[in-house]
Amino acid sequence: MSAVGPNAQTPNGDVRREIAQRWADLKANTPHLRARDAAAQLGLSEAQLVDSRVGDGAVRLKADWPAFFAALPGLGRIMALTRNEEAVHERRGTYHQASFEGHVGLVLGPEIDLRIFLSHWRFLFALAENGRNGVMRSLQVFDARGIAVHKIYAGEATDQEAWTALVARLIMEEPMAPLAVVPFEAAARKTAEVDRDAFLAEWSALKDTHEFFGFLRRHKVEPTDAFRLSEGRFTTRLPAQATHDLLTGASDRDVPIMVFVGNPGLIQIHTGRVKRIERMGPWLNVLDPDFNLHLREDRIAESWLVRKPTVDGIVTSVEIFNPEGGRIGSFFGERKPGKPELAAWRDLAEGLATAAGASLAGVA
At 356, is the pLDDT very low, low, confident or very high (cuts 50, 70, 90)? low
Give residue 133's pLDDT: 78
196-355: CATH superfamily: HemS/ChuS/ChuX like domains (3.40.1570.10)
Judged against a pLDDT cut of 50, whether residue 361 lies above it is answered with: no
Distance CA 307, CA 301 (A): 20
What is the model's pTM? 0.91
Distance CA 112, CA 106 (A): 10
- State how far the alpha carbon of 235 is from the alpha carbons of 18, 74, 187, 216, 307, in Å: 51, 43, 25, 15, 6
Terminal CA-CA length for the chain: 67
Give residue 5's pLDDT: 38
Give residue 13's pLDDT: 55
Judged against a pLDDT cut of 60, whether residue 212 lies above it is answered with: yes
Give residue 1's pLDDT: 31
Q: What is the amino acid identity at position 91?
A: R
Give residue 359's pLDDT: 39
Judged against a pLDDT cut of 90, whether residue 242 lies above it is answered with: yes
At 183, is the pLDDT very low, low, confident or very high (cuts 50, 70, 90)? confident
Q: State the average pLDDT over residues 302-331.
A: 96
- State how far the alpha carbon of 254 is from the alpha carbons of 35, 246, 274, 346, 353, in Å: 36, 12, 8, 13, 20
Q: Tell me if the domain spanning 14-63+122-170 has CATH number 3.40.1570.10.
A: yes
Judged against a pLDDT cut of 90, whether residue 166 lies above it is answered with: yes
Asked if residue 171 lies in contact with residue 61, where contact means CB atoms within 8 angstroms, the answer is yes
Least confident range from 29-43, 173-187, 235-249, 349-363: namely 349-363
Q: State the average pLDDT over residues 139-147.
A: 97
Least confident range from 4-8, 12-16, 70-74, 180-184: namely 4-8
Distance CA 363, CA 104 (A): 32
The domains of the chain are located at 14-63+122-170, 196-355
Judged against a pLDDT cut of 70, whether residue 76 lies above it is answered with: yes
At 364, is the pLDDT very low, low, confident or very high (cuts 50, 70, 90)? very low
At 224, is the pLDDT very low, low, confident or very high (cuts 50, 70, 90)? very high
Candidates 54, 50, 17; CA nearest to 35 is 50
Give residue 69's pLDDT: 98
The strand pair at 266-272 and 113-117 is best described as antiparallel
* Average pLDDT of the chain to the nearest whole number: 90
111-129 pLDDT tens trace: 999 999 999 999 999 999 8
Q: State the average pLDDT over residues 230-240.
A: 94
Judged against a pLDDT cut of 80, whether residue 192 lies above it is answered with: no
Give residue 14's pLDDT: 78
Distance CA 322, CA 301 (A): 5
DSSP state letter for 50: H
